[in-house]
Amino acid sequence: MNIGLIDGKWMPCVQVRRQKHPELVEVIDRSPTAILQTPDSRFGRSRNGHCVLLEGNELAITGEVLEGGTYTLYTRIWMGVTPPKGAQPGYCAVVGEEFDGEFGPKQRRLFVLDEGVCIDGDPSMALIPDLLEAVSALKDIYFPVHERESSADSTGGDRRLCIDPRDETFLEEMMKLKWGIIGYFDEEDGVGDTYLKERFPFWASRDRVAPVFKAPYADDEDYLVKAVESLLSRGLLHHHTCCRILSEGQYRTPLKALGLVCLALQTYDWQEQLADPREFDGYPVEDPTVPHEEVAKRLLERKVMGLMYLVGSHQQRRLLEREGRSGFLKVVADMTGMDEELLRAKLPA
């Protein structure tokens, strides 16, 4: 697990944040390996203690500057879980689908961000409680809080927990509130936030829960393993160096857990998770009332927005997040020196 012991307390080496317009997941990794990989990157500390990517000569809000670490955008971060089977340990894998600036439907590269088996000891001796503790911890680290009106509305496209629907006993155990995976006990039951912080080492919010998703193709174990092996051989699936159980390759359950989430990501394309997939599916919207030339301009504008979000500065990305198309026009006007109102008049609404 990608964590470190700081002042006697386990702390994650990564920060995960949900972005909007479009919905993406930002991951800042400052583990020792990531710092060695990208030593020249700079991060500031915001007033709430979160890391913020610094580009250029801008100063950190609090004055504190952290050097080294990676900054990556993902379309979604999902998790696959399989229970123990015989001498094979139960296993969970956190998988991110990398965002490359393209909004059209495509096969995107996948990255195994972290894994969980048990905290100590021989993985083959880990029991189901060990696995569920690991699932809960990884969920708290990698699943961003959904800032929505109701915590029950937590089935967005950027986080899901993929499981084999046939294993009813394991599913029933996983859904018990004592594990803090799909929910927590209510405060009315006498379980306050203080207890949750003591019970779960990376607890952040009662809204940070894992929507359980019955993965497709789960009944074909051989196909799950074959799909993962194919993705690995084709360079479409990579893993973090902290995923030692996966890299050693001595167990079959890690490949099954990865297969659950990889095939789910393939089956349900990212565009289907967005509020209005027509805006990002890479094809012109058929509207007989709009001239073909304007439709083509809209498509080009969306592609430029995607590229600008990928390569733009931290401030430009924040502007695009907050204001969408209006922010895009402001960025273009600033870069070209053109009048913003003139741009607005020239580009289709």
Residue 80 has pLDDT above 80, yes or no: yes
Tokens in use for 64? 């504190």
pLDDT, tens only, 222-275: 999 999 999 999 999 999 888 889 988 889 999 999 999 999 999 888 865 554
The whole-number pLDDT of residue 136 equals 94
Q: What is the pLDDT of residue 129?
A: 92
pLDDT at position 319: 72
Contacts of 50 (CB under 8 A, 6+ apart): 15, 17
Q: Which among 315, 319, 331 has a CA at the least distance from the CA of 20? A: 319
Q: 311 or 329, which is more confident?
A: 329
pTM over 0.85: no
How far apart, in whole angstroms, are the C-alpha atoms of residue 249 and residue 233? 14
Average pLDDT score over the chain: 80
pLDDT at res. 22: 74
Mean pLDDT along residues 323-339: 75
- Of 69 and 6, the one with more pLDDT: 69
CB 74 within 8 A of CB 99: yes
More confident residue, 301 or 138: 138
Tens-place pLDDT, residues 268-322: 888 655 544 444 445 555 555 555 566 566 666 666 777 666 666 767 776 776 6
36-43 — which CB contacts under 8 Å span 24+ positions? 36/68, 37/70, 38/68, 38/69, 38/70, 39/67, 39/68, 40/67, 40/68, 41/67, 41/68, 41/69, 41/70, 41/71, 42/66, 42/67, 43/67, 43/69
pLDDT, average across residues 89-115: 91
Sheet strands (E) in the chain: 3-6, 9-12, 14-19, 24-29, 42-45, 51-54, 65-67, 70-82, 91-98, 110-116, 161-163, 212-214, 237-239
Between residues 317 and 111, which one has the greater pLDDT? 111
Q: Which domains are seen in the chain, by residue range?
A: 77-273 (3.30.420), 284-346 (no CATH)
- Return d(Cα 264, Cα 244) in angstroms, integer: 24
Taking the alpha carbons of 132, 135, 141, 146 in that order, is the dihedral positive or negative? Answer: negative
Q: Which amino acid is at 115?
A: E
